[in-house]
Amino acid sequence: MSRVALHIKPEWFEEYIVPELNTALVPQVSHEARRRKYDATPWLIRKNDWYRLDPIGDSIWCAYEEGLSIAAASARVAREHNLPLHVALASAIFDLARHQALGLIEQCVDMQHKSERPK
């Protein structure tokens, strides 16, 4: 990829920019979302909506289903797909934003502070 191509952004790119993100957050998968495979193609199903997953997106979704944090999911995807960590992290963040917009991810929980009660 040339240096010039790095400065060209699609018009939808701005809505997916996350200025600050705690990668220790754990995305909570919606109880309405189901992952299924048909003819070796992974799909996410929510009500009557079907979303096809690519292999990286499928790995990210499985990690979120298992309750892994954004950082842990990114590290797993980097290992499984032989990707640089920053590429896997960017993919995890992009998929997180897309899945939240589609209602497949309900919220992100900070597991470090989940057990603490307010005083």
Give the C-alpha distances (Å, rounded to integers) separating 28 from 6, 15, 18, 76, 95.
32, 21, 18, 18, 13
- pLDDT over 50 (residue 9): no
pLDDT band at 1 (very low <50, low <70, confident <90, very high): very low
Evaluated on CA atoms 17, 105, 37, 74, the torsion sign reads positive
- pLDDT over 60 (residue 11): no
The C-alpha angle 92, 60, 11, rounded to 5 degrees, equals 40
